C-alpha cells in the first residue's frame, strides 16, 4: 500500500504560489487535499496551509483566507504588530483546535531558538522516533501554537515561546532556518514505519521570482546589517541542502518537487499587493499544468 505525502515549503507571502499548485491539484483529484493525503508536512507559510488543509478546508477556502490575511498582516510596520495580527486572524480560524482533531496526520517544523535544533510538532505516534513513551500529539499544544512557532520569521515576526506538556517551555523561531523544505524530516519520520518504495511524496515550493527590496526589509537590513538577499539566501540554502540529503539518504522514495522560476514578476516574502499576489497564484496554477503528467504518474497506483 502506498503512503501519500505532501510537503510544503516556507516562503512568507509567496505561499500563494503553493496554493495555486494545490488549487489545480484538488480540482483534478475531485476531493479535498486533506482527505487524499495520508501525511502533510509544512514549514512556516507551508505550516499555515498544512494546518488549514488538515482541518478540512478546501484549497479555494485557503486561497480566500490568504488573499485576505496576507495584506492585513504584511501592512503592519513592526514585528510585534505583525505577530499580533497573525495571532488574531489565526485564532478566528483555528480557535482551540488540537492535533487530535485533524482529517490527516501532519508535521509542522519550527526551530528551537536556544538549542538550534529542529522542533517538529507531529500528530501521530507513528511519526515519532525515540521517546515514544512520552509522545504527545503536538507536544500537547494547540494547532495554532505550532503554526505560530513555525512561522516566527525573526526579525520580521517575533519569536514564540511554546508551552509544551512534555518538554517544558521552548523559545522558537521560523522553521525555515533549519528546514525550509520539510521533506527530509518527513522522510526520516515515515521510514521508521514504511518501506521507502511505498512512500510517494509531492513537494511544493513557493516559486522563484525576482527578489524585490521594499517594505520592512530595508529597515531590517539597516538595523541588523544583513545583506540584501539574506532571507532568500538562507531559506534557499536550507531548502536545497535538505532536498539533496533526502535524495542521497532515501534514494528509493518516490518524490516530485514543483518549484518553477518566473523572472517576469518581482516580489518577496512580505508581499502585500493583491494584484501581485494574484499573479503569483496564477503562476502556481501554471506550474501544476507543467507537472500534471508527472503528478499523475507519481500517484497512479
Measured CA to CA, the distance from residue 173 to residue 2 in angstroms comes to: 34
Measured CA to CA, the distance from residue 167 to residue 118 in angstroms comes to: 13
User: C-alpha grid cell for residue 92?
Assistant: 478566528
To the nearest 10 degrees (0 to 180), the angle between helices 230-249 and 183-190 is 30
Task: Kindly give the residue spans of alpha helices, DSSP state H, lying in 33-78.
Answer: 33-36, 45-54, 59-74
**Total residue count of the chain as it appears in this document:** 301
Least Cα distance to 70 among 96, 40, 48 occurs for: 48
Active-site residues, by number, are 44, 174
Site of grid cell 518581482: 266
Rg (C-alpha) for the chain, rounded Å, is: 18
Strands (E), 153-198: 160-163, 169-174
| Exposure letters 114-139 (e unless 16+ CB within 10 A, then b) | eeeebbbbbbbebbbeeeeeebbbbb
Element (H, E) at 8: strand 3-8
Residues with Cβ within 8 Å of residue 37, at least 6 apart in sequence: 4, 5, 6, 104
- List for the chain the helix, strand, coil content (%; round to 5): 50, 20, 30
Cα–Cα separations (whole angstroms), residue 98 to 141, 198, 225, 229:
7, 29, 39, 36
Measured CA to CA, the distance from residue 126 to residue 132 in angstroms comes to: 9
Amino acid at each position: 500500500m502506498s503512503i501519500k505525502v505532501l510537503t510544503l515549503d516556507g516562503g512568507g507571502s509567496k505561499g500563494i504560489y503553493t496554493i495555486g499548485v494545490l488549487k489545480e491539484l484538488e480540482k483534478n483529484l475531485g476531493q479535498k487535499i486533506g482527505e487524499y493525503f495520508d501525511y502533510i508536512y509544512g514549514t512556516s507559510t507551508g505550516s499555515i496551509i498544512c494546518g488549514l488543509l488538515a482541518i478540512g478546508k478546501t484549497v479555494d477556502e485557503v486561497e480566500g483566507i490568504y488573499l485576505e490575511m496576507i495584506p492585513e498582516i504584511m501592512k503592519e510596520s513592526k514585528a510585534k504588530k505583525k505577530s499580533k495580527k497573525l495571532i488574531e486572524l489565526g485564532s478566528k480560524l483555528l480557535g482551540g483546535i488540537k492535533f487530535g482533531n485533524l482529517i490527516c496526520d501532519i508535521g509542522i517544523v519550527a526551530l528551537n531558538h536556544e538549542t538550534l535544533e529542529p522542533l517538529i510538532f507531529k500528530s501521530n505516534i507513528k511519526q515519532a522516533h525515540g521517546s515514544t513513551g512520552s509522545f504527545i500529539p503536538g507536544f500537547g499544544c494547540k494547532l495554532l501554537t505550532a503554526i505560530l512557532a513555525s512561522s516566527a520569521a525573526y526579525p520580521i515576526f517575533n519569536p514564540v515561546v511554546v508551552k509544551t506538556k512534555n518538554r517544558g517551555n521552548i523559545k522558537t523561531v521560523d522553521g525555515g532556518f533549519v528546514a525550509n523544505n520539510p521533506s527530509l524530516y518527513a522522510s526520516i519520520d515515515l521510514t521508521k514505519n514504511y518501506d521507502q518504495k511505498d512512500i510517494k511524496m509531492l513537494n511544493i515550493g513557493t516559486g522563484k521570482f525576482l527578489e524585490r527590496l521594499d517594505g520592512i526589509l530595508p529597515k531590517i537590513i539597516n538595523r541588523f546589517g544583513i545583506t540584501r538577499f539574506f532571507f532568500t539566501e538562507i531559506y534557499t540554502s536550507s531548502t536545497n541542502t535538505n532536498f539533496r540529503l533526502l535524495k542521497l539518504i532515501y534514494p528509493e522514495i518516490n518524490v516530485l518537487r514543483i518549484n518553477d522560476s518566473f523572472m517576469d514578476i518581482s516580489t518577496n516574502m512580505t508581499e502585500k499587493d493583491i494584484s501581485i499576489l494574484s499573479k503569483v497564484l496564477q503562476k502556481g496554477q501554471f506550474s501544476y499544468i507543467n507537472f500534471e503528467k508527472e503528478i499523475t504518474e507519481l500517484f497512479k497506483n
